[in-house]
Structure 1
Amino acid sequence: MSHRKNKNKGLFRSKKTPTEITEGQHFLECDNCETKPAQFHCKTCQGHLCDDCRKIHETKRLTQGHVVILLSDYVADPVGCHLEEEDQCACKIKQRLKAERKEIDAYWLPLLEQMRDEERKKQSCISRKVEKIKDKVEEHFDNIIDKFTELKNESLIKLEEDAENASDAIDKTIDEIEDKIELLGNRDREIEDYLDEEYEAMHEGMCMPNKEGRLIPKRVSYEVHKFCPGSLDASCLLQVFGDRPYVTWQ
């Protein structure tokens, strides 16, 4: 009779909460046989079992993998975190996820955004310095005869090519930084979704430590070499032209 009733209603009849169990109730019957006192609690299907039904429950094909604990332990700690492996404890995982998210928001994202801004400032600085050098080159060449014009133009073209190549290298660094920012942003949202999961769904694979080697790209360093005009009294054309300006980066 009880088995037909259980089949119609599900594996167990309506469950009592730990509060309902402890509030003035000295006898709690087994949800399966409904005759003997319950001594155990199944965390998987949330049913109360007597000792005999517990043995059957743990050997049945459909329920042999269920987690069964003492009813007294369930009443004392319904979540049961202390009964799980420390590394697999949902509370511990949630704490680690929150810590990871806090680290991303408080440290990694601001750091990468600051680095991106610094790289952009490098580009602006290169541009300003190059423009100043170009002005100086133009001023110097106003005092040089036409035969030096070709040499001047070659130097400016080379300077601008160097600056463009350096800027391209910095652009690549900025792209890498923005990729990392996007990656961490996605990870932040992923963690937010994980934190909404049920405790039973938590697992170690959700956690991912932040490593500097994986997050920090190689950054470009540069130096804009000044234009040094030569003396117009010099006999050598190169001495008159001076050291060619150029940009280096690595």
Structure 2
Amino acid sequence: MVEYQHMDTLTSYQSRAQHFVECDECEDDPAIFFCKTCPGNLCEKCKSQHKIRKITKNHEIKEFGTDNEELVDFLYCSDHKTKRIECYCDPCKKPVCTDCIVLFHNGHVVRTISSAYKEIKEEMQTQKDAIDQYFLPKYTWLLGREAEKRSELKKQANIIQKEIRAYTQNVIEMVKSIGEKTVQDLHDQEKNGLRQINETSDELRKKISKLKEIEENLSGQIKGNPGMQFFTPMNSNLLGEFETFPKTFNYKLHTFQVGRLPSLVAVNYGALADLSIVQVSQTDTCTIYNVLTV
């Protein structure tokens, strides 16, 4: 695994050390150039003077930033601001000057600052390559997969929603059919009751008609002139058939009794299982590196 400590050390050191890079000539203005021949750091003004002096006009002068590796040799110690860094302490992971070695790093394993710079730079490049070639493509791919999952989940929800609504409509149609049959049963009971009422009514009408006939005959005899027939004995059982009244009945349709269907529907309607969330294994996700680099 690539270590991060070297990167942090050099980055933080460079940010501190460059604050102290000032012109070695005037010691006032910040250095913009450095002389590889002297060596020395130079501001714009002193660099011009450096180029016209007979003793220094042939010196090789470079601008800071032209070669990072060369710049390392001209960084100043963060603890001893007038001393350039000379070495890199491996145990302490820190660039040091000669005073630092004597005071704080005596006996430590040190090496050239340029070799440390190269190693740290290579480690940085390795991590940058890992980001560019593996981590960023992988995370970007995973993000894209989440978008695909979102779309797929919504599609599944829409399909299941249609199934639920179709099923609900079927249940509604079934309940409607049961309701219509129940209404038909009600009408059948009503018709049966009406039929029996009509039969009883017909029987009563016949009795009434016959009674009226007898009543008219008797009334005629009472009002007419009596003759010999008037004294003919009456039928003693003339009204016998009327003494027993026809049986009559009361009819009542029972109120509708609500069944257990609502509770049964609630229990037996059906249900959705909980959302299934399964973690994708690292073996599956890591294969993206090979896919992206083919």
Normalising by the residue count of structure 2, what TM-score does the alignment of the two structures yield?
A: 0.29
- Greater RCO (Cα-Cα under 8 Å, separation 6 or more): 1
Please identify the structure whose Cα radius of gyration is greater: 2
